[in-house]
Amino acid sequence: MSSISSFLTEDNPCAEEACETLFRGLNGACSKETSIRRHEPLAKRTTLRVGGSADVYVEPATVHDLCQALRLCREAGVHWMLLGRGSNLLVRDGGVRGVVICLAGGEFVGVKSMGPMLSAGAGARLKHIAVEARRGGISGLEFLEGIPGSVGGSLRMNAGAMGSATFDCLESVRAMDREGLVAVHTASALDPGYRHCGFFDDHIALSAEFRGRLAPMAEIEARMRALSSKRWESQPAAPSAGCIFKNPASIPAGKLIQELGLKGTRVGGAQISEMHGNFFVNDGSAKARDVLSLIELVRERALNERQIHLQTEVQIVGEEESPCE
């Protein structure tokens, strides 16, 4: 993910003109299959369903189109950020200045299994990977079915569920650096951590290979059913971003929030789930500022009452809403 350049701010009178020029350049340089839009609402592209718009939104169809988009951003001095399937993401109400790139179509969404190996594009949904693995008789990837994200996002966050994490089953990644150079990297060379892999601060995942073990389909289906049942018993169905906070060393964040008596606390249209304290849900009317207020409320209580510094797991991006909006 890239930071948003100060080149595109309300204080810069050329910002809108720069975006319009970049928009026209992208349309000329990319294939017709690439989707390029101005002022794209991002709330509909996140699982929490809040946030403002992107100045320019690009959905490349090919690796070449992605490379062209990065080149034009670099030449224009406009920074960009990468968007996955929008889980684990909170976009502020003022939206994102600059370019948002999303690998949600074209050659980035294919999934194919062969033996105990499965290859997938960075934009492939994790649910689709779990389903294809089941079809191919590959066990060890069942936990991915319950994570509402894409391959690229799961790599950057080393996303996990039910005691397993993405890098537990990752074999290799094909990635592009900021200059457009592409290379294959083994999983062991990427040094992931808890809910983060620093390699993807400077690289874009294009595709990945996962390794499981061959097993009877009935065994895989039984495990998927068990994990699904466990998930729906403990996680809310309402729109959310997944877990808001990383788990501190001393106590799971959800348990801490429950012990603080904060489950059910509401700000505007956002509420701390009654089912799981580390999930904040949107009743359909929430603004990003409501969620941010809840985050600060919880962090303050955790620090004051338990001397625990909570760190957000959810990624917070974008600008604050203008007072006149």
Residue 77: per-residue pLDDT: 87
**Any idea which fold 110-219 has?**
3.30.465
In this prediction, residue 11 carries a pLDDT of 41
For residue 194, the surrounding DSSP H or E stretch is none
pLDDT (0 to 100) of residue 79: 84
The region of weakest confidence among 27-36, 152-161, 179-188, 275-284 is: 152-161
Q: For the beta carbon of residue 300, count every other beta carbon within 10 angstroms.
A: 11
Give the pLDDT confidence score for residue 234 in this predicted structure: 76
CA distance 64 to 100: 17
Lowest-pLDDT choice from 174-183, 195-204, 225-234, 237-246: 225-234
CA–CA dist 269, 282 (Å, integer): 6
Distance CA 130, CA 231 (A): 15
Check residue 235 and report its DSSP letter.
S
- Res 18: pLDDT: 86
Domain boundaries, the chain: 15-106, 110-219, 236-317
pLDDT (tens digit per residue) in 297-308 = 999 999 999 999
Instruction: Give pTM, 2 decimals.
Output: 0.89
**pLDDT confidence band for 5 (50 / 70 / 90):** very low
* Crossing angle for the helix pair 217-234 and 126-135, to the nearest 10 degrees: 150
Band of the pLDDT at 324, cuts 50, 70, 90?
Answer: low
Which tokens go with 6?
A: 């100060």
| Parallel/antiparallel/unpaired status of strands 203-211 and 170-177 | antiparallel
Q: Tell me if residue 193 falls in helix, strand or coil.
A: strand
Indicate the CATH number for domain 236-317: 3.90.78.10
Structure tokens at 19: 């975006």
Tens-digit pLDDT profile for residues 84-116: 999 899 999 999 999 999 999 999 999 999 999
Which residue type does 306 have?
R
Phi, psi for residue 134 in degrees, rounded to 5: -60, -45
Does the domain at residues 15-106 carry the CATH identifier 1.20.1050.10?
A: no
Task: Give the tokens for residue 304.
Answer: 């004051």
Q: How many degrees, rounded to 5, is the angle at CA 29 between CA 24 and CA 33?
A: 95
